Structure 1
Amino acid sequence: MRFYPATLSRLLAIAALVFSPMALAEQSMADGRYEIHYNAFNSSFITPEVAQQNGLVRSKYRALVNVSVLEIGADGNKQPTTAIVSGQAANLLGQAQQLEFKKIDEGNALYYIGSFRFTEDEQLKITLRVQPDPNRPAYNIEFDQRFYVD
């Protein structure tokens, strides 16, 4: 099976739509200069082929955080842009896992994917730090999400 440039982006969008009742809906924030999209989902939602192609680990006990940044031009057009992305996932006891993000560049789409482990029915606070412009402060994003073993 051969994968084309937008394969991962299509799969992530489909996963967000199909599994939205399971809290996969994409979330975003914008400030007029940048638009930051982010979501988290069980890694088993991606196919083994896509995982292998992008160096991602699939497991029913591993989740992925997906972050993409768009720069908003003066004309309103949005273009993918690079960013410095870091973060962590912490459980209710405050035990945190640092997220290491992998940049995936598909030409017309740019993603940062980080992964972390979870246990059945676990509520996690995901904290992201996204800095598209190294000369300006980073955007801080926090969201809570419950994860279930698939």
Structure 2
Amino acid sequence: MRLFNLLSGPAVALAALLASTSALAEQSISDGRYEIHYNAFNSSFVTPEVAQANNLVRSKYRALVNVSVLEMQDDGSKQPVRAIVSGQASNLLNQAQTLEFKQIDEGDALYYIGSFRFTEDEQLKINLNVQPDPNKPAYTIEFDQRFYVD
């Protein structure tokens, strides 16, 4: 199912959620060739219909990490590219959860969504490894975020 298919309600809702969440808390890195965007948010922000349509687990104690990779083109445009994405979420006691990412491919957009559990008012360190080129080392991304039960 395409996230940005304008004829599909759940797809539009997830795309809108990712876009609005991105606008509020999106982070990115760029090296001139690749631009990697990432953010994390409560899975309860996703409607039940959107979660079901995209096989996402919804819970007030579960968060989602969204990663997308764009490659800079010679003409200045950006093209979504596939990547190997892995990571983990760790609490302050260094108890880690491995993130398993699901690829959502729309053709003109490509996302990797992973999920993890959290408790009320929990600070987590999220470590991501994003490898757009399998012949080169992965980019390492680390960020801290506090999560609240919604």
What is the TM-score of this pair, normalised by structure 1?
A: 0.91
Question: What are the equivalent positions in structure 2 for 1:63-78 lying under 5 Å apart?
Answer: 63-78=63-78
Structure 2 gap ranges (5+): 1-6
Alignment size in residue pairs: 144
2:149 is aligned with 1:146: no
Q: Hey, what's the Cα distance between the residues in 2 that align with 1:27 and 1:15?
A: 11
Who is 1:26 aligned against?
A: 26
Identity level (%): 76
SS at match of 2:9: coil
Who is 2:120 aligned against?
A: 120
Q: Hey, what's the Cα distance between the residues in 1 that align with 2:129 and 2:45?
A: 25
Displacement of 1:5 in angstroms is 5.4
SS at match of 1:59: coil
- Residue identity matched to 1:141: I
Question: What are the equivalent positions in structure 2 for 1:27-106 lying under 5 Å apart?
Answer: 27-106=27-106
Deviates more, 1:4-13 or 1:41-50: 4-13
Displacement of 1:13 in angstroms is 1.0
Who is 2:21 aligned against?
A: 15
Q: Is the 8 A contact 2:27 2:38 kept in 1?
A: yes
Deviations 1:47-85 (A, max 9, x none): 111100110000000000000000111121101100000
Who is 2:4 aligned against?
A: none
What is the TM-score of this pair, normalised by structure 2?
A: 0.91
Q: Is the 8 A contact 1:5 1:107 kept in 2?
A: no
